[in-house]
């Protein structure tokens, strides 16, 4: 918590004027849509036809159909695998590993390695999708070409391992954040702790387990919650697979898009949005609680 100052530099009135545009923008384009989603979700609003002009109030009918829809169950299951695989296992573990390795290595190698990982993070989403379509292509892709060179058979990745494909894709895409955050966390460890461990001849693994890990644990948990929220809200795999083949990569985000904009069921889509917002709210509340504890 910051100190309260008796004579602030900015008067209250000026502060209100300064903050107003931000609050209006956020109110109209962020807070209001979130609340409105709940209302639209209770109607049969459609993109076309009579229900587009005169939507009817249908109560919880949309929610009931969603919870009964086997496609929704399918997309929940896939999303759970996707978040577990690409956020908690992929990005978090790989990011932590990279951060620990980079901690020991400074100089140009550090710069090169972190630049490449960060590059994967900043390239625009659509380009990344094309890169992976090319990389995993059955006939020409670099991955199968490499396998051929090693005498292994080519694999039709998107067809045989659809969920794994988007998990690896998203791990590649997002690891930079965890690497940077974990790296920043490691920098907060007093060097003397590790030097003392060196003096008594502790192994690398023991130094990691007994010194680094306990000290950065709060950051690891915060990171885990953050990337869980983000991965849950990712739309990128749509560009890679469109949700297919045969709904095998139909993440909740893609399921929402499909129902609202392909089947024109805006009311139904909005009800799914409400469910996503509720899940986000739970995850974000966990994050806020952790962040508060971290500051106290």
Partner 1 sequence: MKRALSVVALLLIAALFALPILWLVTAPFNPKPTLGLQLAKPTLRNFEGVFRNPTAVRGLRNSLLQAAAAMLIATPVATMAAYAFSRASFPGQHTILYFLILLSSVVSGVSAMVPLYVLMQTLGLIDKHVGLVMVYVGGLLPTNMFIMKDFVDSIPRAYEEAALVDGSTPRQVLLNIAFPLCRPGMAVIAVLIFVSTWSNFLMPFILLRSASKAPASVAIYTFFNEVGIPLIGLIAAYSFIYTLPVVVLYLIVNRKFGFRFYGGIKG
Rg (CA), the chain: 24
Instruction: Indicate the DSSP class of residue 141.
Output: -
Q: Are 270 and 97 in contact (CB under 8 A)?
A: no
Interface with partner 1 in residues 202-231 (CB under 8 A): 204, 222, 226, 229-230
At 156, list the tokens.
């039709």
Interface with partner 1 in residues 101-130 (CB under 8 A): 101-102, 104-105, 109, 112-113, 116-120, 122-127, 130
Q: Judged by CB under 8 A, does residue 16 bind partner 1?
A: yes
Q: Judged by CB under 8 A, does residue 192 bind partner 1?
A: no
Interface with partner 1 in residues 229-258 (CB under 8 A): 229-230, 233-235, 239, 252-253, 256-257
Q: Judged by CB under 8 A, does residue 264 bind partner 1?
A: no
Shorter beta-carbon distance to partner 1: residue 30 or 246: 30
Interface with partner 1 in residues 128-147 (CB under 8 A): 130-135, 137, 139-143, 145
Biggest distance spanned by C-alpha atoms of the chain: 78
What is the rounded CA–CA span in Å between residue 77 and residue 70? 11
Q: Are 188 and 215 in contact (CB under 8 A)?
A: yes
Q: Judged by CB under 8 A, does residue 4 bind partner 1?
A: yes
Q: How far is CA 207 from CA 94, 131, 190, 195, in A?
A: 18, 38, 13, 10
At 140, list the tokens.
């020409």
Interface with partner 1 in residues 29-88 (CB under 8 A): 29-34, 36-37, 40, 45
Closest distance between partner 1 and the C-beta of residue 126, in Å?
5
What 3-state class would DSSP assign to 47?
coil
Shorter beta-carbon distance to partner 1: residue 84 or 276: 276
Q: How far is CA 10 from CA 1, 18, 22, in A?
A: 19, 10, 17
Would you tell me how many other CB atoms lie within 10 Å of the CB of residue 156? 14
Closest distance between partner 1 and the C-beta of residue 256, in Å?
7
Closest distance between partner 1 and the C-beta of residue 233, in Å?
4
Among 263, 281, 289, 293, binds partner 1 (CB under 8 A): 281
Among 98, 166, 167, 182, binds partner 1 (CB under 8 A): 98
Q: Judged by CB under 8 A, does residue 197 bind partner 1?
A: no
């Amino acid at each position: 918590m910051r100190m309260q100052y008796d004579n602030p530099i900015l008067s209250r009135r000026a502060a209100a004027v300064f903050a107003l545009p931000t609050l209006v923008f956020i109110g109209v384009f962020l807070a209001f849509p979130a609340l409105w989603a709940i209302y639209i979700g209770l109607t049969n609003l459609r993109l076309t036809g009579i229900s587009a002009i005169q939507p009817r109030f249908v109560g919880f009918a949309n929610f009931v159909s969603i919870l009964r829809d086997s496609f929704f169950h399918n997309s929940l299951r896939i999303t759970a695998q996707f978040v577990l695989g690409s956020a908690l296992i992929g990005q978090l573990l790989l990011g932590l590993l990279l951060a620990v390795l980079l901690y020991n290595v400074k100089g140009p190698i550090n710069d090169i390695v972190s630049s490449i990982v960060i590059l994967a993070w900043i390239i625009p989403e659509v380009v990344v999708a094309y890169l992976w379509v090319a990389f995993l292509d059955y006939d020409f892709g670099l991955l199968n070409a490499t396998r051929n060179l090693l005498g292994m058979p080519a694999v039709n990745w998107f067809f045989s391992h659809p969920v794994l494909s988007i998990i690896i894709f998203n791990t590649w895409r997002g690891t930079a954040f965890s690497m940077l955050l974990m790296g920043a966390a490691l920098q907060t460890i007093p060097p003397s702790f590790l030097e003392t461990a060196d003096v008594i001849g502790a192994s690398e693994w023991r130094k990691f387990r007994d010194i680094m890990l306990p000290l950065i644990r709060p950051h690891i948990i915060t990171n885990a919650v953050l990337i869980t929220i983000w991965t849950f809200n990712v739309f990128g795999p749509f560009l890679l697979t469109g949700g297919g083949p045969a709904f095998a990569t139909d993440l909740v985000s893609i399921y929402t898009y499909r129902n609202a904009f392909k089947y024109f069921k805006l009311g139904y889509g909005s009800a799914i949005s409400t469910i996503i917002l509720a899940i986000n709210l739970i995850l974000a509340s966990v994050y806020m609680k952790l962040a508060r504890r971290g500051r106290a």
